[in-house]
Amino acid sequence: MLKHDSPRILSLGVLNLDFVMELGNEMIGKKKMGRQISINAGGHGSSQAIAAVRCGVPTALIGKVGDDAFGQQIQCTLEKEHVDCRFLTHVPNVHSGLATIIIEDHTDNTFIDFLGANYELTNEDIDHCKDAICQADLVMIHMGPAIMDVATHMIELANECHTPVLVTPSVMTADVPLHFWKKVDYLAMNLAQAAAISGLSGENAKTARISASILSNQVRQGVVVHMDGAGVLVAEKGTMSLMDTCFSGEILDYSGATSFFTGVLAAELVKNSSIQEAAIKAHRAALLCMGKVGVYTSFPSAEVLKTL
């Protein structure tokens, strides 16, 4: 059994080192000059966990990194953020996950992922965390590339333990049968994910409403869609609320917003906030992320989160 300090939230998602490159407009010959670069721990698993801890909720992550300098940097960042790393494993002779995010004015971001050690995570690794899953208040899972099967297994195990499950789907989950979501308590999504999971075209408020309406009749609790500057949508059994629509700032970069949104939402739910209250705070935190270029460097501090 785990000690009394077992984490209240468990986070599952890929772990990467993020290379965020912001391009400038200057050309020297055929070379485009960069404006700035940041190299920090990233990936959905770590970003979710950092958000939850900054909200004051003890959180552990489950994942694998390589036995390289990048893996060490990921772990050092997580430990600095007070994320519980008891279930983080270094895999010998395997590279850590790497993500390159290229940001350029007036165009969509380019994302290049090399998921490396993330592919080494197995169902047996999840089984080794069963005590923690059973004792947690919530598990939050990003169902993305490299860990789809493992994420499904963790949801099944959480159901056995009667531990609530919060899932952020990826575009890959469009092929998941609709009835699968009956095993999930909460779905947290952005506009693109909401459209993809329901097979709809167009990333806008209309597709978000349709998707949320359909899925809220499947999940046990509710669906939350953060719609950037248009507000946050909460759907419970087909009943929808659109909140926090008064945004007048500038959106510069979407890169880290969804994962941070998920972590804040999870933390506030664990602190017994209503789903509407949790959604508003998570949405405001995501907007702060969008107001800065980068992923880890865009995350609001614990002090700022207390004011939202």
34 vs 235, residue with greater confidence: 235
Q: Rg of the chain over CA atoms, in angstroms?
A: 18
Whether the per-residue pLDDT at 188 is higher than 70: the answer is yes
The one-letter code for the residue type at 18 is D
Q: CA angle at residue 171 from 205 to 228, to 5 degrees?
A: 35
Instruction: Give bridge partners of residue 32 from the DSSP assignment.
Output: 27
DSSP β-ladder status, 59-66 and 31-42? unpaired
Q: Confirm whether 4 is domain-assigned.
A: no
Q: Confirm whether 177 is domain-assigned.
A: yes
Instruction: Output the pLDDT for position 1.
Output: 38
DSSP state of 267: H
124 vs 37, residue with greater confidence: 124
DSSP β-ladder status, 16-28 and 9-12? unpaired
DSSP β-ladder status, 110-114 and 138-143? unpaired
Instruction: Output the pLDDT for position 41.
Output: 92
Q: Within the chain, what is the greatest distance between any pair of CA atoms? A: 63
Instruction: Output the pLDDT for position 2.
Output: 45
Distance in angstroms between the alpha carbons of the first and the last residue of the chain: 37
Residue 221: strand, helix, or coil = coil
CATH number, domain of 196, equals 3.40.1190.20
Query: Rounded to an integer, what distance in angstroms lies between the CA atom of residue 261 and that of residue 141?
Result: 13
Query: Rounded to an integer, what distance in angstroms lies between the CA atom of residue 245 and that of residue 299?
Result: 21
Q: Confirm whether 2 is domain-assigned.
A: no
Please provide the average confidence, as pLDDT, over all residues in the chain.
92
Tokens representing 84 are 């519980």
| Beta carbons within 10 angstroms of residue 251's beta carbon | 13
Whether the per-residue pLDDT at 240 is higher than 80: the answer is yes
62-83: average pLDDT: 96
Q: Confirm whether 129 is domain-assigned.
A: yes
Whether the per-residue pLDDT at 26 is higher than 90: the answer is no
Q: Confirm whether 1 is domain-assigned.
A: no
Residue 142 belongs to what domain range?
Answer: 9-305
Instruction: Output the pLDDT for position 3.
Output: 44
Residue among 174, 178, 173, 156 nearest 165 (CA): 156
Q: Confirm whether 26 is domain-assigned.
A: yes
Can you tell me which residue has the tokens 């779905």?
Answer: 187
Looking at 5-19, 101-115, 148-162, which range is the least confident one?
101-115
Q: Confirm whether 3 is domain-assigned.
A: no
Whether the per-residue pLDDT at 137 is higher than 90: the answer is yes
Number of structural domains in the chain: 1
270-287: average pLDDT: 97
Give Cβ neighbours of residue 30 (< 8 Å, ≥ 6 apart).
none
Looking at 35-44, 103-112, 225-234, 242-251, which range is the least confident one?
103-112
Query: Rounded to an integer, what distance in angstroms lies between the CA atom of residue 231 and that of residue 205?
Result: 9
Q: Confirm whether 131 is domain-assigned.
A: yes
